[in-house]
A and B are shown apart, each in its own frame.
Chain A
Amino acid sequence: MRHIISLLMENEAGALSRVAGLFSARGYNIESLTVAPTEDPTLSRMTIVTSGSEDVIEQIIKQLNKLIDVVKVLDLNDGKFIERELMLVKVKATGAFREEMKRMCDIFRGRIIDVADGSFTIELTGSGHKLDAFIESLDKAAILETVRTGASGIGRGDRILKV
């Protein structure tokens, strides 16, 4: 099953490689991994999307907790949570395409953030499924380039991951 794991870790050189190394050394899957400093600059927050049986997920959580730099680990799937991912898509925008792209972008509540003679760059935020749906709804020939951040997640309501 797909799980989203959030963790807070010391914002130190090499911390990311400890997590990445753990996943590869123990043969765990990583679907996506995002990391950035938090409002407290000594801490980084990481969101890892992984999949595995309940036993494997339990081991992943335990092994992550064992890393010395990791301060806190939360399996978001243990409760209600929200996940979002950001995607930037550069699409062909010439002739009839130009109006069509604008319309598709509006339907998916994206924003055009760069306009050039032959292309638009669209910013789109949502769940992974929504981003997939947008890509599928476009003419393949119109897609020039895509970049996705991977999922970020946060618990709903009172579920707070903080030191």
Chain B
Amino acid sequence: MADTQKITGAEILIRCLEQEKVKFVFGYPGGAVLHIYDAIYNQNHFKHILVRHEQAAVHAADAFSRATGEVGVALVTSGPGATNAITGIATAYMDSIPLVVISGQVPVPAIGLDAFQEVDMVGVTRPCVKHNFLVKDVKDIAITMKKAFHIAKTGRPGPVVVDIPKDITAHFAQFHYPETVEMRSYNPVTKGHSGQIKKAVKLLLEAKRPMVYTGGGIVLGDAAEPLVKLVRALGVPVTNTLMGLGGYPSTDKQFVGMLGMHGTYEANMAMQECDVLLAVGARFDDRVIGNPEHFFSKSRTIIHVDIDPSSISKRVKVDVPIVGDVKSVLAEMNELVAAEKPKQSPALKAWWEQIDTWRSKLCLNYANNNGLIKPQYVIEKLWEVTKGDAYVTSDVGQHQMWAAQYYKFDKPRRWINSGGLGTMGVGLPYAMGCQFADPTAQVACVTGEGSIQMNIQELSTCKQYHLPIKVILLNNRYLGMVRQWQEFFYENRYSESYMDSLPDFVKLAESYGHVGMQITKPEDVEGALKEAFDMKSRFVFMDFITDQKENVFPMIANGKGLSEMILAEDL
């Protein structure tokens, strides 16, 4: 891509995005990026989406990536634009989402002089990016962008920030975009160790109580297909983490539900009692296994497959570590398993009987008879009305857990939520990113009245781009998860967890030209959902007035182990 003509840094940046086949850039203009916005005005390679707050730009780019597997791109100005983007960047970092975030910076001669709208973006973002760059020469823009995209999407993915001073975007240089990039300091492992893989397969075939536990790595690594093949060939139970939902079809009989703090009884018990555990693209975090000391068992052998060596033996000691790309490792395992033609052993049969006993507790059953709308019921109906095929985004709290528990995801990249950082306010911008990724798809944003107000300004963006998102607001007039913890652990002292002075969400939606609905009776839930999803070209804001006292079960209290669940029936 050599070009003898000299163009500006801003134009070079646009050409880089064109070379990377970027379709959408989510952003917000400002002083330090005016040259870049001028270059955007004169191009038609990608569409720029104007959000109403930089945090939403990064979240939308993040969701676009989660939905498509492509690198998400956001563009923000220096100073406050850059700091507003931080929550979005940290959210993507915790869930290993590939992003390139371009931030404007004050001109090079002004750096360090406390210039107007100056912030040390490279310094501020260092702890929450995979890598970051400050470009100080127009000739470095192209190679830096190439590296940024390469780093973001390879190995364990993550966000990369490219900070570009304003004067650099006005300087001239020839454009040359390198075909490939070599970095002696960055060569992520892809193929797993064959000897370790053999050992793992042998353990799984000989196991009496095998269990497969998978996380977001399956989704990010596009490994759902080989995972399904392996689990079926072995005939073993499988559980997904919150981030891994959809990695294995939730409606399949070998799926025992999500595990963790609000996981199913059967999934958590099977995790605790299994003798061979295959963990793939998951990281044994505190919300998943609880207290590692309680999780520890002498009679359990753990195999851990992950692309990131630092995820292995971080919280839990592992017996068979396998560093590699989960897709390639699972494919290799499948070959070995196929050669063995495993049959169901009596031990495995007994293990399934045990699991079925745990299943018969029906831990997700809930009482639905007090005349109030149960949030779980709304999600069940949402699943039916959308035929289990919607993109479901959520915010953070009780509604997030109910969506994860009751919407049975059968495909990867359909469940879009902030698992690691737990960022309230992601739901609406996440829905925007999904709708841009798949304009004709059904997109539902399951949210709470606390979370939705953290990025409510994006109703305006949805109006501008005619996004037919359906907001499913489970409105219980409480910061529900906070209230639940206060009920359980703080003797009902509901400190600052009541959401008073709520807006009239119907009128609010209507003021943006959207459709607003309020649903107060259980018998109206299904009809309203059908009506909303039938309005294929409209943004519909559905305010479900739900039972205020509903709690999320099962639940594992902080510091407890997987088998120490509190069930709804215990109370």
Q: Which of B123, B130, B131, B309 touches A17 (beta carbons < 8 Å)?
A: B123
Q: Is residue A129 contacting chain B, with contact meaning CB distance below 8 A?
A: no
| Top 3 closest pairs, chain A to chain B, by CB | A62-B310, A68-B131, A71-B185
A15–B185 alpha-carbon span in the complex (Å): 12
Q: Is residue B126 contacting chain A, with contact meaning CB distance below 8 A?
A: yes
Q: Which of B130, B185, B314, B317 touches A70 (beta carbons < 8 Å)?
A: B185
Q: A13-B134, A17-B126 are in contact. Are A59 and B314 (CB under 8 A)?
A: yes
Q: Is residue A38 contacting chain B, with contact meaning CB distance below 8 A?
A: no
Given the complex, which residues of B lie within 8 Å of A63, measured CB to CB? 310
Instruction: Determine how close the nearest CB of chain B comes to the CB of A157; give it in whole angstroms.
Output: 25
Q: A58-B313, A71-B184, A71-B185 are in contact. Are A66 and B308 (CB under 8 A)?
A: yes
Instruction: Determine how close the nearest CB of chain B comes to the CB of A19; give it in whole angstroms.
Output: 11
Interface 1/0 per residue, A1-36 and B, CB below 8 Å: 000000001100110011001000100000000000
Instruction: Determine how close the nearest CB of chain B comes to the CB of A67; give it in whole angstroms.
Output: 8
Do the beta carbons of B185 and A10 come within 8 Å of each other? yes
Instruction: Determine how close the nearest CB of chain B comes to the CB of A24; give it in whole angstroms.
Output: 9
Q: Is residue B122 contacting chain A, with contact meaning CB distance below 8 A?
A: yes
Q: Is residue B109 contacting chain A, with contact meaning CB distance below 8 A?
A: no
Interface residues in B92-146 (C-beta closer than 8 Å to A)? 122-123, 126-127, 130-131, 134
Interface positions of B (Cβ within 8 A of A):
122-123, 126-127, 130-131, 134, 151, 183-186, 308-310, 313-314, 317
Do the beta carbons of B126 and A21 come within 8 Å of each other? yes
What are some 22 contacts across the A-B interface (CB < 8 A)? A9-B185, A13-B134, A14-B122, A14-B123, A14-B126, A17-B123, A18-B126, A21-B127, A55-B313, A55-B317, A58-B313, A62-B309, A63-B310, A65-B310, A66-B308, A68-B130, A68-B131, A68-B151, A68-B183, A68-B186, A70-B185, A71-B184
Instruction: Determine how close the nearest CB of chain B comes to the CB of A115; give it in whole angstroms.
Output: 41
Given the complex, which residues of B lie within 8 Å of A9, measured CB to CB? 185
A14–B151 alpha-carbon span in the complex (Å): 18
Interface 1/0 per residue, A113-150 and B, CB below 8 Å: 00000000000000000000000000000000000000
Q: Is residue A96 contacting chain B, with contact meaning CB distance below 8 A?
A: no
A10–B186 alpha-carbon span in the complex (Å): 11
A92–B313 alpha-carbon span in the complex (Å): 53
A65–B313 alpha-carbon span in the complex (Å): 15
CB-nearest residue of chain A relative to B147?
A68
CB-nearest residue of chain A relative to B309?
A62
Query: Other CB < 8 Å A-B pairs besides A58-B313, A71-B185, 5 of them?
Result: A14-B123, A17-B126, A62-B310, A65-B310, A71-B184
Main secondary structure of the interface of A (DSSP, over half): helix
Given the complex, which residues of A lie within 8 Å of B313, measured CB to CB? 55, 58
Q: Is residue A83 contacting chain B, with contact meaning CB distance below 8 A?
A: no
A32–B468 alpha-carbon span in the complex (Å): 57
Given the complex, which residues of A lie within 8 Å of B314, measured CB to CB? 59
Q: Is residue A85 contacting chain B, with contact meaning CB distance below 8 A?
A: no
A25–B131 alpha-carbon span in the complex (Å): 15
Do the beta carbons of A68 and B185 come within 8 Å of each other? yes
Q: Is residue A163 contacting chain B, with contact meaning CB distance below 8 A?
A: yes
Given the complex, which residues of B lie within 8 Å of A21, measured CB to CB? 126-127
A66–B123 alpha-carbon span in the complex (Å): 18
Instruction: Determine how close the nearest CB of chain B comes to the CB of A148; give it in whole angstroms.
Output: 28
A14–B121 alpha-carbon span in the complex (Å): 12
Q: A17-B126, A18-B126, A68-B151 are in contact. Are A163 and B184 (CB under 8 A)?
A: yes
Q: Is residue A69 contacting chain B, with contact meaning CB distance below 8 A?
A: yes
A59–B127 alpha-carbon span in the complex (Å): 16
Given the complex, which residues of B lie within 8 Å of A68, measured CB to CB? 130-131, 151, 183, 185-186
Instruction: Determine how close the nearest CB of chain A comes to the CB of B111; give it in whole angstroms.
Output: 11
Given the complex, which residues of B lie within 8 Å of A14, measured CB to CB? 122-123, 126, 134
A69–B186 alpha-carbon span in the complex (Å): 8
Q: A18-B126, A25-B127 are in contact. Are A69 and B310 (CB under 8 A)?
A: no
Given the complex, which residues of A lie within 8 Å of B317, measured CB to CB? 55
A108–B531 alpha-carbon span in the complex (Å): 89
Q: Which of B123, B126, B127, B185 has the most CB of A within 10 A?
A: B185
Interface 1/0 per residue, A48-78 and B, CB below 8 Å: 0000000100110011011011110000000
Given the complex, which residues of B lie within 8 Å of A62, measured CB to CB? 309-310
Given the complex, which residues of A lie within 8 Å of B151, measured CB to CB? 68
Q: Which of A18, A65, A70 touches B309 (beta carbons < 8 Å)?
A: A65
Given the complex, which residues of A lie within 8 Å of B308, measured CB to CB? 66
Instruction: Determine how close the nearest CB of chain B comes to the CB of A83; give it in whole angstroms.
Output: 25
A18–B123 alpha-carbon span in the complex (Å): 9
Given the complex, which residues of A lie within 8 Å of B184, measured CB to CB? 71, 163
Instruction: Determine how close the nearest CB of chain A comes to the CB of B21; give it in whole angstroms.
Output: 23
Do the beta carbons of A69 and B126 come within 8 Å of each other? no
A17–B130 alpha-carbon span in the complex (Å): 14
A26–B64 alpha-carbon span in the complex (Å): 30
A75–B477 alpha-carbon span in the complex (Å): 55
A9–B131 alpha-carbon span in the complex (Å): 14
Q: Which of A18, A66, A70 has the most CB of B within 10 A?
A: A66
Instruction: Determine how close the nearest CB of chain B comes to the CB of A56; give it in whole angstroms.
Output: 10
CB-nearest residue of chain A relative to B186?
A68
A24–B111 alpha-carbon span in the complex (Å): 26
Given the complex, which residues of A lie within 8 Å of B122, measured CB to CB? 14
Given the complex, which residues of B lie within 8 Å of A18, measured CB to CB? 126
Instruction: Determine how close the nearest CB of chain A comes to the CB of B135; give it in whole angstroms.
Output: 12
A62–B321 alpha-carbon span in the complex (Å): 14
A10–B147 alpha-carbon span in the complex (Å): 15
Given the complex, which residues of B lie within 8 Å of A17, measured CB to CB? 123, 126
Instruction: Determine how close the nearest CB of chain A comes to the CB of B63; give it in whole angstroms.
Output: 25
Given the complex, which residues of B lie within 8 Å of A66, measured CB to CB? 308-310
A29–B183 alpha-carbon span in the complex (Å): 29
Interface residues in A81-120 (C-beta closer than 8 Å to B)? none
A38–B570 alpha-carbon span in the complex (Å): 65
A55–B122 alpha-carbon span in the complex (Å): 30
Instruction: Determine how close the nearest CB of chain B comes to the CB of A6; give it in whole angstroms.
Output: 15
CB-nearest residue of chain B relative to A63?
B310
A66–B185 alpha-carbon span in the complex (Å): 9
Do the beta carbons of A69 and B185 come within 8 Å of each other? yes
Given the complex, which residues of B lie within 8 Å of A13, measured CB to CB? 134
A18–B309 alpha-carbon span in the complex (Å): 19
A17–B123 alpha-carbon span in the complex (Å): 8
